[in-house]
Structure 1
């Protein structure tokens, strides 16, 4: 039982067999590790994770309905958010992951577009990759974080 897999995780021969096997049919595949029996039990839509340019986020934020249809997550620390923030983003500090991580799928809707922000884009990418493992389907990492957003999209937001 491998759980959910996506392309790029396994050796090519195994991946080819896994992604082309008919559901519930046992297939044989040989890799450099030997022979394997494989049975795909179900399929799901592929998730995606894209980097989003700050200017693109700013354009989306101009739509008054955007914050109602999208989920906006800021994984910076609360003291960082006090210095600079973007309206609509909800705080999920990465240092408090133990508190919000176990309940994130009930707090947020994994099928909705989810935008993740941090200071420079590193922590947000880490959080978005983890959210993907939790079944979130459509994820956007704000490239360069709030720092680049301030420089390239809205200079009224402080840099730090």
Structure 2
């Protein structure tokens, strides 16, 4: 369903977290948590309908219950992201699709049917695709998804087959930007910035011991398992969040993940603390 991403960055993945692969597609979302590696490689192929698990995204937006109407209503999508679940059947399975539509209209949950009938790997997550924005899906699916009123099921056809899709929630599109070390340094001269901004250093403790910047909370990437699930307890997704590492690679991985978790505005420190030392403050050691 999703277009091939142009993103390529150094990342490998924990093998026990990888989902079944459809070899002809690659997701634009970085899977997480990544391992730290020294050699840049392209992101591996991942199934187009399985970006992440529903428990990390649904949050306070419960799955709708009861009858669900079918709609062809449309909107322009604007600068929003939508939380989508779907099921997929083959192009020749129109009769099955009609029967599934009937069962949904009678109150059966789309996610339950996805587990049983969908041919998309997202069936393992009840058909959950996660938060998506425009430009990440093939046109037919995108048009249907961004035209669908909340909680109403829409039927559409793409080159992959027939889809029944449901938009569970929507939110303002989050932003991810690079920030130059010089600009970060300028901001850090204001004590209010240090107090109000959310500053995250994802390097390992031994690296932080060699060089660090004031105000940054250390969340080592290799320890993601201990802090990833509680990130929203310690940090406010509505506040500006700045992520730092050695050269800007690991921090970009984490910044993309924070964006996927609903953080509204995330900044990746371009070039990392090394660039900060070389371009801004030579008193910060390089290593």
Higher helix share: 1
CA drift of 1:22 comes to 2.9
Distance 2:153 2:262 in 1: 26
Match of 2:150 among 23, 48, 51: 23
Distance 2:257 2:142 in 1: 22
TM-score (norm 1): 0.91
Q: Deviations over 1:3-46 (max 9, x none)?
A: 32223332122112212333334333221123323332321111
1:155 corresponds in structure 2 to 282
Distance 1:42 1:92 in 2: 30
CA drift of 1:99 comes to 1.3
Corresponding pairs, count: 160
1:135 corresponds in structure 2 to 262
Q: Deviations over 1:96-146 (max 9, x none)?
A: 111111211101111111100000000101111122222222110001000
Tell me whether 1:57 sits opposite 2:184 in the alignment: yes
Match of 2:164 among 37, 40, 63: 37
Unaligned stretches of 5+ residues in structure 1:
none
Q: SS of the residue aligned with 1:132?
A: helix
Of structures 1 and 2, the one scoring higher in RCO (CA 8 A, sep 6+) is: 1
Please provide the CA RMSD for this pair.
1.5
1:80 corresponds in structure 2 to 207
TM-score (norm 2): 0.53
Distance 1:50 1:104 in 2: 20
Could you tell which deviates more after superposition, 70-79 or 40-49?
Answer: 40-49
1:113 corresponds in structure 2 to 240
